[in-house]
């Protein structure tokens, strides 16, 4: 591949070089003299008035710096005449082709008196901005406009004010005032009037006067990243431009960047060879109007790396069985795509930026990713999960840690200190058992259950999930974790989820970095579950709405809407009985019928999980409006209560003497 070779180019020209952007406005922030408040313009550098002002000049309370200018608006009670306008003639001569000149000033009502039945909020002041040209010592208006300011701030003793606003006046020379060409340009400000009755002064600051660029709209854009090495340089020139010079290279100091276009009326440059990868280039277009050259801005861009660049990773998907799933990757600098899945099974039509899987079934569930290849290398996208909405795994603990759903998500009883010789788990037949079966006994030590090979597959949780378990504990002195899948190595940037019993004996559900800020942000329940009674604890996360919940005994106790929507995945297994693989925050008590779903169960579905075990009824969502006997249903008993009071009347005098 040929590369551009840049050399030092010294360009000598007899043309006049002028600034393209800014026309100098002296003392544009009214910082001089900077000693004290001035009530006239004779003592303010570079600004003038036709007569001596009575109460206009400079004072503090600026927008930027330490001072601002101010002009009295109209006539105030203490003065017999309005103050004159303030103006400044610049050293800039309007040239042929300078089409658009913009005057900008930040201004506000700086003080409007409220004394002696003066102004009220909503009163206004009118402020005049003018661009003029000098014709033999006479100011000739090129364009002017009046702006109306409205008081919105009551400062008390300091009167009323409005917000600082950046006001602009645009002069199109060819349209608005062709006669200005060849004359020096000036600017002027005047306080026209106000609606209050007791005095008004308009503050102004940061006065700017600019000429529109003659070369603009660069492509690649300024600061653009990942630009193709085969790019052209393109720009637009104003109609008045005769021709332009273009300088282009990789020198950030712009000393050794050669002229690649010289005095041509073009708007594109095609480099003779591909640009270097991962290199920042700098370029400038100097526009020539007649014999005057207007130096342009320096633009820069950075070319793409030699490797493929992933602009957007595929997203994990959870769908109903039978639906279609579509994975997409957005990338640049890619020659070929190859989609893969963790179990190695073949994937039809897997060589494009989009992978479509129709009629998704349980057999399609897996971890998917895409390999992106070009001549330089091959890279991988993020690995994401495809799931169907279902019960993924359930552990009954009837003398086994096997997954009763028979999907192979069996548990392994683990002692981090005895990894090669773990003890046997302890199963207990509790006299108060919820179904007459056994439960797993955990003892607030480092022993816990790890779900074998769940590190990647169970990373579906950012797409939504439900955690459910029956617990019996008295542990309320520490955070006892019933189940988790999390990475705490970069504390406090914890990744993953946790369901535990807090040190106050209530249930808490944390989806790290999602439910608010901070490592401990959780959805916290209200009922005491550390009372040595069996409780069903349920946690859900709905990724579509960002809602996390905590339930106890089938009833919703709290919910939060996430503030981050991040939910990063992690490389740790799902755990029962501790927060981490080291056994930290271990749980003490009985654990039974633990399960995980690949979607967020509804309130009704959670209630059914509970009543399927306990029998009876639960009132979900509160009592109906006309439930008079508070039994969570409206029926004949409620009608009977209403009928017994049917003829009661407390109207006076109709019913009562």
pLDDT band at 623 (very low <50, low <70, confident <90, very high): confident
Residue numbers of the domain that contains 444: 392-614
User: What H or E segment, with its residue span, contains residue 609?
Assistant: helix 603-614
Would 416 be classed as within a structural domain?
A: yes
Would 590 be classed as within a structural domain?
A: yes
567-596 mean pLDDT: 93
Do 331 and 417 lie in one domain? The reply is no
What are the pLDDT digits (tens) for 525-540?
A: 999 999 999 999 999 9
pLDDT at 19: 39
Distance CA 216, CA 211 (A): 12
- The fraction of the chain above a pLDDT of 90, given in percent, is 67
Do 400 and 262 lie in one domain? The reply is no
| Mean per-residue pLDDT of the chain | 89
Do 62 and 156 lie in one domain? The reply is yes
Tokens of 455: 């590190």
- Three-state secondary structure string covering 428-459: ECCCCCCCCCCEEEEECCCCEEEECCHHHHHH
Would 7 be classed as within a structural domain?
A: no
Do 372 and 466 lie in one domain? The reply is no
Give the residue from 460, 454, 456, 455 showing the smallest Cα distance to 543: 460
Neighbours of 417 (CB within 10 A): 11
pLDDT band at 504 (very low <50, low <70, confident <90, very high): very high
Do 61 and 207 lie in one domain? The reply is yes
Q: What is the CATH number of the domain that holds 75?
A: 2.60.120.260
Give the residue from 188, 199, 174 showing the smallest Cα distance to 116: 199
Would 319 be classed as within a structural domain?
A: yes
Query: What size, in residues, is the chain?
Result: 657
pLDDT band at 642 (very low <50, low <70, confident <90, very high): confident
CB 302 within 8 A of CB 269: no
Domain end point (choices 188, 211, 234): 211
pLDDT band at 638 (very low <50, low <70, confident <90, very high): low
Q: What is the CATH number of the domain that holds 238?
A: 2.60.40.10
Do 442 and 522 lie in one domain? The reply is yes
Do 239 and 286 lie in one domain? The reply is yes
Q: What is the CATH number of the domain that holds 494?
A: 2.60.120.200
What are the pLDDT digits (tens) for 193-237?
A: 998 778 899 999 999 999 888 898 999 999 999 898 999 999 999
CA Rg value for the chain? 38
Do 76 and 200 lie in one domain? The reply is yes
Do 178 and 277 lie in one domain? The reply is no
Distance CA 588, CA 356 (A): 46
What are the pLDDT digits (tens) for 457-471?
A: 999 999 999 999 999
Distance CA 594, CA 46 (A): 81
Do 507 and 558 lie in one domain? The reply is yes
Whether residue 176 has pLDDT greater than 90: yes
Tokens 């009295």, residue located:
72
Tokens 């001089």, residue located:
32
Please indicate whether residue 638 or residue 451 has the higher confidence score (pLDDT).
451
pLDDT band at 21 (very low <50, low <70, confident <90, very high): low
Distance CA 58, CA 34 (A): 9
Tokens of 412: 């392994």
CA distances 259 to 8, 12, 282, 283, 286, Å, are 10, 11, 12, 9, 10
pLDDT band at 633 (very low <50, low <70, confident <90, very high): confident
Would 51 be classed as within a structural domain?
A: yes
Would 585 be classed as within a structural domain?
A: yes
Do 32 and 122 lie in one domain? The reply is yes
Whether residue 314 has pLDDT greater than 80: yes
Tokens of 2: 């040929």
Whether residue 15 has pLDDT greater than 70: no
Residues contacting residue 370 through CB under 8 Å, at least 6 positions apart: 314, 327, 329, 337, 338, 339, 340, 353, 355, 380, 381
Number of structural domains (the chain) is 5
- Of 11-20, 94-103, 514-523, the range with the lowest mean pLDDT is 11-20
Residues contacting residue 418 through CB under 8 Å, at least 6 positions apart: none
Domain end point (choices 303, 326, 354): 303
Do 544 and 563 lie in one domain? The reply is yes
- Of 15-19, 353-357, 638-642, the range with the lowest mean pLDDT is 15-19
pLDDT at 485: 95
Whether residue 354 has pLDDT greater than 60: yes
Domain end point (choices 388, 423, 442): 388
Would 598 be classed as within a structural domain?
A: yes
Would 9 be classed as within a structural domain?
A: no
- Of 249-258, 296-305, 310-319, 420-429, the range with the lowest mean pLDDT is 420-429
569-587 mean pLDDT: 93
Whether residue 6 has pLDDT greater than 70: no
| Global confidence as pTM | 0.63
């Amino acid at each position: 591949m040929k590369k551009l070779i840049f050399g030092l180019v010294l360009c000598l020209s007899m043309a006049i070089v002028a600034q393209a952007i800014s026309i100098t406005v002296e003392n544009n922030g009214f910082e001089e003299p900077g000693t004290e408040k001035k009530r006239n313009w004779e003592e303010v550098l570079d600004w003038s008035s036709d007569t001596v002002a009575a109460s206009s000049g400079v004072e503090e309370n600026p927008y930027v710096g330490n001072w601002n200018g101010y002009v009295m608006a109209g006539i105030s009670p203490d003065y017999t005449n309005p103050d004159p306008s303030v103006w400044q003639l610049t050293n800039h001569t309007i040239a042929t082709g300078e089409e658009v000149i913009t005057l900008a000033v930040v201004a506000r009502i700086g003080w409007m008196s409220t004394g002696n039945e003066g102004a009220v909020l909503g009163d206004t002041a009118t402020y005049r901005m003018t661009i003029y040209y000098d014709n033999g010592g006479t100011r000739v208006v090129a364009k002017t406009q009046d702006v109306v300011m409205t008081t919105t701030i009551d400062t008390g003793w300091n009167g009323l004010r409005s917000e600082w606003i950046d006001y602009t006046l645009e002069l199109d020379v060819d349209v608005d005032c062709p006669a200005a060409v060849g004359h020096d340009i000036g600017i002027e400000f005047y306080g026209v009037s106000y609606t209050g009755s007791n005095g008004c002064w308009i503050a102004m600051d940061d006065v700017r006067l600019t000429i529109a660029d003659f070369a603009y709209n660069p492509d690649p854009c300024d600061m653009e990243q990942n630009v193709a090495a085969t790019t052209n340089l393109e720009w637009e020139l104003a109609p008045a431009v005769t021709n332009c010079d273009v300088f282009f290279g990789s020198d950030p100091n712009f000393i050794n960047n050669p002229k690649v276009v010289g005095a041509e009326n073009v708007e594109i440059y095609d480099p003779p060879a591909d640009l270097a990868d991962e290199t920042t280039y700098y370029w400038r277009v100097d526009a020539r109007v007649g014999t005057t050259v207007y130096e342009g801005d320096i633009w820069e861009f950075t070319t793409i790396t030699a490797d493929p660049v992933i602009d957007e990773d595929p997203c994990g998907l959870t769908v109903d069985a039978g639906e279609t799933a579509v994975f997409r990757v957005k990338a640049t600098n890619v020659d070929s795509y190859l989609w893969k899945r963790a179990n190695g099974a073949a994937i039809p039509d897997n060589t494009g930026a989009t992978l479509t899987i129709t009629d998704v079934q349980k057999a399609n569930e897996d971890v998917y990713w895409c390999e992106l290849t070009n001549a330089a290398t091959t890279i991988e996208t993020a690995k994401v999960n495809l799931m169907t909405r279902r019960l993924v795994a359930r552990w009954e603990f009837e003398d086994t840690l096997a997954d009763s759903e028979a999907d192979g998500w069996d548990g392994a009883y683990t002692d981090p200190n005895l990894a090669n010789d773990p003890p046997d788990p302890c199963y207990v037949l509790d006299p108060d058992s919820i179904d007459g079966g056994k439960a797993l006994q955990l003892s607030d030590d480092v022993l816990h259950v790890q779900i074998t090979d769940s590190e990647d597959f169970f990373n579906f949780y950012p797409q939504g999930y439900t955690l459910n378990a029956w617990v019996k504990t008295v542990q309320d002195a520490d955070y006892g974790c019933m189940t988790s899948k999390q990475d705490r190595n970069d504390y406090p940037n914890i990744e993953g989820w946790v369901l535990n019993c807090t040190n106050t004996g209530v249930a808490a559900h944390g989806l790290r970095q999602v439910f608010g800020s901070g490592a401990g942000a959780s959805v916290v329940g209200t009922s005491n579950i550390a009372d040595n009674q069996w409780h069903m604890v349920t946690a859900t996360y709905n990724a579509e709405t960002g809602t996390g919940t905590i339930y106890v005994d089938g009833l919703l106790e709290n919910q939060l809407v996430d503030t981050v929507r991040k939910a990063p995945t992690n490389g740790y297994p799902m755990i029962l009985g501790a927060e981490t693989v080291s056994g930290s925050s271990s749980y003490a008590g009985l654990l039974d019928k633990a399960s995980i779903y690949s979607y967020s169960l509804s309130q009704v579905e959670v209630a059914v999980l509970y009543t399927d075990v306990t029998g009876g009824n639960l009132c979900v969502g509160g009592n109906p409006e006309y439930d008079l006997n508070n039994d969570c249903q409206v029926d004949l008993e409620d009608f009977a209560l209403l009928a017994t009071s049917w003829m009661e009347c407390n109207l006076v005098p109709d019913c009562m003497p």
